[in-house]
Homo-oligomer: A and B are copies of this chain.
């Protein structure tokens, strides 16, 4: 059976792509963010994953409102990035792990998750930039399976439902008849809000409490909140913490915290980073 080694949780913002492109990693504004990543890469060098399952949210590249899935799972041979409207340079394509894609799809449908299967799929900055932070040379040493959660069109899936999705994905990975070493990557959040008079809202207390909860005895702490309550606490885009929840749920009951970083702000966002190892 496949081995689920652990999870990486990180924020994403398009500006990271610009910063990478312009080589600003050591710039005073960006350094506190980028400096969080060498320990992650060290952990990955030890973990040696073959496959990364990525929980992320699309920002209007692959999905539009004509067909907006709640949960979608990629089953493509390859995943390309594309222009998202800002003409930011694109990263190389990713190779899909189609065996795992279809295994996940079989298991999830069997577990009564009503997923949308995507045999073609563009992946946006929420997918590509975290990958580029984990592997800066962009010579991806892993195959991937994207799992996308809707954060564009309300109603969003509840935090409790996202937790259950993560649990089901974790079970499926562990039941995959393969010698592969698998890591789960969750990207989004933490607190930020781009729209409305409350734009620029950040909530450090909530973020820290949320990060703590993931390594506590009650890792599903955030599932007690409704989506509007989470928006109130974390901002309209802070709701992307749903990706962190699904990732944490995939890792099973107990995890060990290997690394953590938290920095305010990058762009409009409170940037969180965690490495959680399965135990």
Contact A157 B109 (CB under 8 A): yes
Contact A70 B115 (CB under 8 A): yes
Stretch in contact with the other chain, from A116-124, A193-201, A250-258: A116-124
Say yes or no: is A85 at the interface (Cβ < 8 Å to chain B). no
Say yes or no: is A218 at the interface (Cβ < 8 Å to chain B). no
Contact A118 B71 (CB under 8 A): no
Say yes or no: is A106 at the interface (Cβ < 8 Å to chain B). yes
- For the complex, what is the distance from the CA of A120 to the CA of B68, rounded to whole Å? 10
Q: Within A163-180, which residues are at the interface with B (CB < 8 Å)?
A: 164-165
A109's partner among B106, B110, B117, B156 (CB-CB below 8 A) is B156
Interface string of A16-41 (1 = CB under 8 A from B): 00000000000000000000000000
- A113: chain B residues at CB < 8 Å are 114
Say yes or no: is A87 at the interface (Cβ < 8 Å to chain B). no
Q: How many residues of A contact B (CB 8 A)?
A: 32
- A72: chain B residues at CB < 8 Å are 67
Say yes or no: is A158 at the interface (Cβ < 8 Å to chain B). yes
Contact B110 A155 (CB under 8 A): yes
Closest to A76 in B: B66
Say yes or no: is A265 at the interface (Cβ < 8 Å to chain B). no
Contact A70 B157 (CB under 8 A): no
Contact B70 A109 (CB under 8 A): yes
Say yes or no: is A105 at the interface (Cβ < 8 Å to chain B). yes
Interface string of A123-167 (1 = CB under 8 A from B): 000000000000000000000000000000101111011001100
Contact B114 A70 (CB under 8 A): yes
Contact A109 B155 (CB under 8 A): yes
What distance in Å separates the Cβ of A108 from its nearest Cβ neighbour in chain B? 9
Say yes or no: is A69 at the interface (Cβ < 8 Å to chain B). yes
Contact B119 A158 (CB under 8 A): no
- For the complex, what is the distance from the CA of A14 to the CA of B71, rounded to whole Å? 32
Q: Within A39-85, which residues are at the interface with B (CB < 8 Å)?
A: 63, 65-72
Contact B69 A67 (CB under 8 A): yes
A116's partner among B116, B156, B165 (CB-CB below 8 A) is B116
- For the complex, what is the distance from the CA of A261 to the CA of B218, rounded to whole Å? 56
Interface residues of A (CB under 8 A from B): 63, 65-72, 105-106, 109-110, 112-121, 153, 155-158, 160-161, 164-165
What are 27 A-B contacts with C-beta separation under 8 Å? A65-B117, A66-B118, A66-B119, A67-B67, A67-B69, A67-B72, A67-B116, A67-B117, A67-B118, A68-B116, A68-B117, A69-B69, A70-B116, A71-B114, A106-B155, A109-B155, A109-B158, A110-B158, A112-B157, A112-B158, A112-B160, A112-B161, A112-B164, A113-B114, A114-B114, A114-B165, A117-B153
